[in-house]
Structure 1
Amino acid sequence: MDEFIQRELNPPQQEAVRHTDGPLLILAGAGSGKTRVITYRIAHLIHMHGVLPQNILAVTFTNKAAAEMRQRIEGLLGNAAMSLWMSTFHAACVRILRREAEAARLSPQFVIYDTADQLTLLRQCMKESHIDSEIYAPQSIMRRISTLKNELMDSDTFIQEAGDFGLDEIVSHVYPLYQRRLQDHGALDFDDLLMRTVQLMRRHPEVLERYQHRFRYILVDEYQDTNMAQYHLLNLLAERYRNLCVVGDDDQSVYRFRGANVRNILNFERDYPDATVVKLEQNYRSTGTILEAAGAVISKNDRRKEKTLWTENERGIPIGYFCAQDEVHEA
C-alpha cells in the first residue's frame, strides 16, 4: 500500500494521506486531486493502521460526490468499505436520528419534507395565522426559517429575540406554528435534520459519547461550504479523539447565500492550534494561463489562506474575452 501511495501521489498528497492522528487541514486548490487524497487516506487508515471501517465517518455535500467516493474506496478495499459511514451530512443525520429516535423525541418512521412540501405547509400556516401571502412571500419566510435553523435557533428562542416589526415579526408567528404542524405530520424538513442532531448531542451526553467513540476518524469534503450547524456537529463528534480531517479551499467558497460560512475553514487553526496544514497546490486540470489569471484575481482577497497553484501542463492559448453592448448582443 505504501509503495502504491508513493508511486501514485505527489509529495504533499502523500503527506496528507499518511497523516494519522490529530486535526488536519488540507487546503486543496481546484484540480489538485483532493478526492483521490480523501479516498487514499481512508484506505491508508484501514490498511496500514488497522482502523475499523465502521470507526470512520466521511461526509460531503452531494449524493453524487458520496457515491463517487464510495466507489473509489470499494475499488481499493473491496467489501471492507461496506461498513464505512460515507454520506452527505443530511443522510448521516437521518441515520443517527432514526437510531436515536426515542432520545430525540421522534418517531423512527419520521418523513422528510422536500421544498415543495415545506412551501405547502408554510402557506397553510400563514393562512392559519391570517398572514397575507400576497404581501409576505412564503419563499422569503421559508428562507428565513432555514437560516435560523442553520444557525441553531429554534422557534422558542427566536420568539424571545425577534423584533416586533418587518419580516422577523411575521416569522415569529409562523415559525412556531410551522414546527408544530411538522410535528403533527411526523415530519422534519432538511434543516431540522441538522439542528435536531446537534440538539440531540448537546442534550444527551450519553448519545454524544457513543458517537464520539464510534467516529474516531472524521473526514469532511468541501469544508468551506459548511454552515454553523454542520460546524458545531463536527466539533462535537470530534471532541474526544480530535482526529478531524477537513478538506477544502476558501478560494472556492461560493455558497454564502445558502448559509455557508467561510470562517469555518479560515479559523480552523484557531479552533485546533495543533492542526497540521497541508497545501495541495499542483493543478492537474488547467493550463498555466488559466491559473495565472485566476491567481491574479483571487490574490486581491485579503482574507484567504495563502496558496499558489501551479501546473506542469502547457501554458495554453491566451484567454479571450468579449464585451457585449447589451443582453441582446450578448445572446
Structure 2
Amino acid sequence: MAEQPRLLKGLDPEQRTAVTAPRGPVCVLAGAGTGKTRTITHRIAHLVERGLVVPQQVLAVTFTARAAGEMRTRLRALGAPGVQAQTFHAAAFRQLRYFWPRVLEGQMWPLTDNKFRIVMQAANRLGLSTEKESVRDLAAEIEWSKASLIGPDQYPAAAARAGRSAPVAPEQIGRAFTTYEKLKNHAQVLDFDDLLLHTAAVLEEHAEVAEEFRARYRSFVVDEYQDVNPLQQRVLDAWLGGRDDLTVVGDANQTIYSFAGAAPTWLIGFSRRFPEATVVRLERDYRSTPQVVSLANAVIDAARSRPAGTRLRLTGQRADGPDPQFAEHDDESAEAEAVVRRIAALVQQGTALSEIAVLFRVNAQSEVYEKALSDADIPYQVRGGERFFARAEVRQAMTALRNAAARDDSASGDDLPTLVRAVLSEVGLTTEPPAGGSARERWESLNALVELAAELAETVQQPDFARYVTELEMRAEAQHPPTVEGVTLASLHAAKGLEWDAVFLVGLVEGTLPIQHADGDDAAIEEERRLLYVGVTRAREHLHLSWALSRASGGRRHRKRSRFVHGLVPDGHPAALPGTTTPRARESKPKQTVKPRCRICATPLASTMDIKLGRCSSCPSDADEDLLSQLRSWRSERARQLKVPAYVVFTDATLLAIAEQRPADESALVTISGIGATKLERFGSDVLALVQGSQRGP
C-alpha cells in the first residue's frame, strides 16, 4: 500500500475529500470541533504543492485578526508561506490603498479614529440624544444598515422587516445616517464599512482595476462563511468576477451575529449557486467528549425549521468523559458559590485555571462570579467586556449613590431598593428594560445595583443607604485583583471560536436565555438556542449547566429555567422537575459549624484568606522568609517543568500559609486550604523536604 502524501496524513476521510477536491467551488459544512481550520489550510497547501495554484494568487479571508494570524502560521508550517490570509477589512484596506490614486484624486482618505464623535455631531444637529448609550446605539444602526446594503431612505422599511428595536423613530435614524455620511465626507475620512463599500465599487465600476486584481488573485477561501453579511458578500462577488474558484467553510448552527447583519443564506445556498460544487460535511468532533457532543446534538436537534445545510450531527471522537452536570439553585449567590466550589475541585484535580470558563448571556451577570471567585482567592479574567465595577455606567452610578448617601435627606425610612432605584433613575435607569443594544446592557448593569440593594435589605437588619454604599465600595475594591491568567469570565458571544477543558454555562433562565426581547420572534428565539449550542460546544471535557430561581438570597423563587434546558436533564435527576433544587444547591446553605480560630489571637476566622493562613489579617505574619523564598524558587521550577503558570502549582497565599505554619507531615500539610489529595501526591514530598530542611538550619 502506497504511503499517503505528507499533507493527507492524519486526515479523516471527509477531510481528505475536502483537501483533494479539484479547483472550483467547494463548500465545507464543518460542525464545531471538526477540524475546519486544519482542513482548509491543508487544502490550500495541497493545491500549492501540486502546482495547481501559486501561493501569492490565493486570498483567504476570515473575520478576526487572531484567526487570520493562526491561518498564516499554519500555512507557513505546511509550506505555503506566500498565501494572503487576512480579515475582510484588512484585505479591502490593502486593495483600496493601492487602487485609490488611480481612480480618485490624491491619496486614500484616512480611517477615522473617532467615529463616535461624528455620530454624536449628527445626533446633535438633529436634536437627538447625545448620551453615550444613545449615540452607541445610533452608530450600531448605521453600521447594520451599511453592512446590509441599506441606504438612509430605505432604513425605516428595512428595520421594520428585520424587526430592529430602534433606539429612536426609524425616520430619525435615517436622517441621522444621512447627516453622518455628509459630516464624514466633509472631513474626508472613512469608516470601516467604507473600506468594503469603496472596494466593491472600484472593482464593479473600473474594468481595468478589476482585470488587474483578478490577474493577481485567482483562488479564494472564506472561513466562517455563515457570518458574512450582504456587504461582505458583495465584496466577495466583486473579487470573483464571475469565476468559481472558491472554497467556503462554515456552520449555520453557529450563526449568532444576525443583529450585525450576518446571515447563513450564502452558505446554505452555495450548492444552488454552484450546482457543480463539491460539498463535504465534517461531523467528527475531535474537541469534545462523546458526552458533551451528545448534549450539543440534543440542543440543536430541538431547533425549528432547520434548513438542510444546518442538519449536521456531530459524532464524538474522544474517549468517554464525565456526564454533563445540571444544577438548580435557590438564588444567584448560591449558584455562583457552587460553581466556584466545583472550579476549586477541578483545580485540585489538576485542571489549569486558564482551561476553565464561566459563560453567561449578558455581561451584567459577571458581577456575582467576580465576587465569588475573588472571595475564594481564585484569579480570573473578564473577556470581551470590562469588570462589572469598571464599567462606565456603574462608575457613574456609584458617584450618584455616594452623593445621595452624603445628603441629609437620604437617611429616610424609605425602602432601600426603592431609594436606590430613585437615585439611579437620575442616571438613566428606567422601570422597563430597553429592547436591546448597548442601552439594554447599561440597564442590566444599573438594575443589578438595585437587586444588590434588595439582597442587602433581605439579609441585614435595618439596612440604611450608607451601609449599602459601603457594601458596594467594599465589593468594588475586592473585585479588582491583579491582571493574571485565571478562570475566564465571558459572554456567549465573546466565547465564539474559543474552547476550554471545563465550561460552566450559568444563569440559564427565561428572560436571560432566551433574552427577554427575543420573545415572540421565532428567528430571534432560534438564535438564542444557537447561542446555547455555541456555549456547549466550547467544552472539551467538563460541562456544567445551572440556573437560579431567584436573584437575591431569600427572595421569591419566581424564575423559570430556560426552555432550552427542557429535555436535556436526565430523567430522575434532582433538577429534572422545575422548581426543585439539587442536593448540592441545598448544601450551599450555611451550616451551623464551629468556625476556625486564629492560631495567634483565637478570634473566629471568616474570610477565605484568613482561613487559608490560619490567622487574622490584623495579626502579624510569622512566616519563615528563607523558606518562603525557597518555596517560590521550587514552584517556579516545577511550573516550568509542567509548562503551566506558577499559580497552578500553588498560589502565593498557599505558599505563605506553608511558610507560616511549617507543617511537619502530610496530615498537617493537607489542613492548609488549597492542598488536596492530588496536590499532596504531586508536590507533598517536595514541600515537606523544604520545610524540614529549613528547620535543620545551616
Query: What TM-score, normalized to structure 1?
Result: 0.89
Q: 1:151 aligns with which of 148, 152, 163?
A: 148
Aligned to 1:303: 306
How far did residue 5 of structure 1 move? Answer: 2.6
Tell me which protein shows more helix as a share of its residues: 1
- Is the CA contact (8 Å cut-off) linking 2:290 and 2:320 kept in structure 1? yes
- Is the CA contact (8 Å cut-off) linking 1:223 and 1:247 kept in structure 2? yes
How far did residue 63 of structure 1 move? Answer: 0.6
How far did residue 153 of structure 1 move? Answer: 2.8
Q: 2:139 aligns with which of 132, 139, 142?
A: 142
User: Which is further off, 186-195 or 217-226?
Assistant: 186-195
SS in 2 for 1:261: coil
Decide whether aligned partners of structure 1 residues 160 and 330 sit closer, same or farther in structure 2, where only a CA change above 3 A counts. Answer: closer
Decide whether aligned partners of structure 1 residues 158 and 287 sit closer, same or farther in structure 2, where only a CA change above 3 A counts. Answer: same
Structure 2, unaligned runs of 5 or more: 160-165, 337-698
Q: Please list the CA deviations of residues 101-154 of structure 1 after superposition, one character each: whole Å capped at 9, or x if unmatched.
A: 14664753422235xx11111112222333343599212221111111101234
- Is the CA contact (8 Å cut-off) linking 1:212 and 1:241 kept in structure 2? no
Larger Rg: 2
Aligned length: 324
- Is the CA contact (8 Å cut-off) linking 1:63 and 1:87 kept in structure 2? yes
Decide whether aligned partners of structure 1 residues 215 and 154 sit closer, same or farther in structure 2, where only a CA change above 3 A counts. Answer: farther
SS in 2 for 1:49: coil
Mapping for residues 102-251 of structure 1, pairs under 5 Å = 102=101, 105=104, 108-113=107-112, 117-133=114-130, 137-155=134-152, 158=154, 167-251=169-253
Aligned to 2:98: 99
| 1:313 to 2:310 alignment | no
Q: 2:271 aligns with which of 260, 269, 272?
A: 269
Mapping for residues 35-54 of structure 1, pairs under 5 Å = 35-54=37-56
SS in 2 for 1:130: coil
SS in 2 for 1:81: coil
Amino acid at match of 2:312: K
- Is the CA contact (8 Å cut-off) linking 2:147 and 2:260 kept in structure 1? no
SS in 1 for 2:243: coil
Aligned to 1:81: 81
- Is the CA contact (8 Å cut-off) linking 2:156 and 2:171 kept in structure 1? no
User: Which is further off, 275-284 or 100-109?
Assistant: 100-109
How far did residue 176 of structure 1 move? Answer: 2.2
Amino acid at match of 1:55: Q
- Is the CA contact (8 Å cut-off) linking 1:97 and 1:104 kept in structure 2? no
Amino acid at match of 2:58: I
- Is the CA contact (8 Å cut-off) linking 1:104 and 1:196 kept in structure 2? no
Aligned to 2:331: 326
Once residues 124 and 177 of structure 2 are traced to their aligned partners in structure 1, the CA distance between those partners, rounded to angstroms, is 13
Once residues 144 and 155 of structure 2 are traced to their aligned partners in structure 1, the CA distance between those partners, rounded to angstroms, is 15
User: Which is further off, 91-100 or 253-262?
Assistant: 253-262
Q: Please list the CA deviations of residues 177-230 of structure 1 after superposition, one character each: whole Å capped at 9, or x if unmatched.
A: 212222233321112222222222222233233323322110011101111111
Q: Please list the CA deviations of residues 265-314 of structure 1 after superposition, one character each: whole Å capped at 9, or x if unmatched.
A: 11112222221101111111111111111111111223242222113312
Amino acid at match of 1:173: R
Decide whether aligned partners of structure 1 residues 330 and 55 sit closer, same or farther in structure 2, where only a CA change above 3 A counts. Answer: same
Aligned to 1:25: 27
User: Which is further off, 176-185 or 1-10?
Assistant: 1-10
Once residues 195 and 139 of structure 2 are traced to their aligned partners in structure 1, the CA distance between those partners, rounded to angstroms, is 16
- Is the CA contact (8 Å cut-off) linking 1:125 and 1:178 kept in structure 2? yes
- Is the CA contact (8 Å cut-off) linking 1:212 and 1:240 kept in structure 2? no
Once residues 74 and 278 of structure 1 are traced to their aligned partners in structure 2, the CA distance between those partners, rounded to angstroms, is 25
Aligned to 1:290: 292
User: Which is further off, 253-262 or 64-73?
Assistant: 253-262
Decide whether aligned partners of structure 1 residues 314 and 127 sit closer, same or farther in structure 2, where only a CA change above 3 A counts. Answer: same
Once residues 297 and 155 of structure 2 are traced to their aligned partners in structure 1, the CA distance between those partners, rounded to angstroms, is 46
How far did residue 70 of structure 1 move? Answer: 0.5
- Is the CA contact (8 Å cut-off) linking 2:147 and 2:230 kept in structure 1? yes
Structure 1, unaligned runs of 5 or more: none
Decide whether aligned partners of structure 1 residues 174 and 284 sit closer, same or farther in structure 2, where only a CA change above 3 A counts. Answer: same
Q: Please list the CA deviations of residues 206-260 of structure 1 after superposition, one character each: whole Å capped at 9, or x if unmatched.
A: 3233323322110011101111111122123224330110011111111112221
Aligned to 2:464: none
User: Which is further off, 54-63 or 168-177?
Assistant: 168-177
- Is the CA contact (8 Å cut-off) linking 1:5 and 1:14 kept in structure 2? no
Amino acid at match of 1:172: G
Identity %: 35
Once residues 120 and 286 of structure 1 are traced to their aligned partners in structure 2, the CA distance between those partners, rounded to angstroms, is 45
Amino acid at match of 1:64: R
Amino acid at match of 1:33: G
Once residues 170 and 279 of structure 1 are traced to their aligned partners in structure 2, the CA distance between those partners, rounded to angstroms, is 46
- Is the CA contact (8 Å cut-off) linking 1:287 and 1:316 kept in structure 2? yes
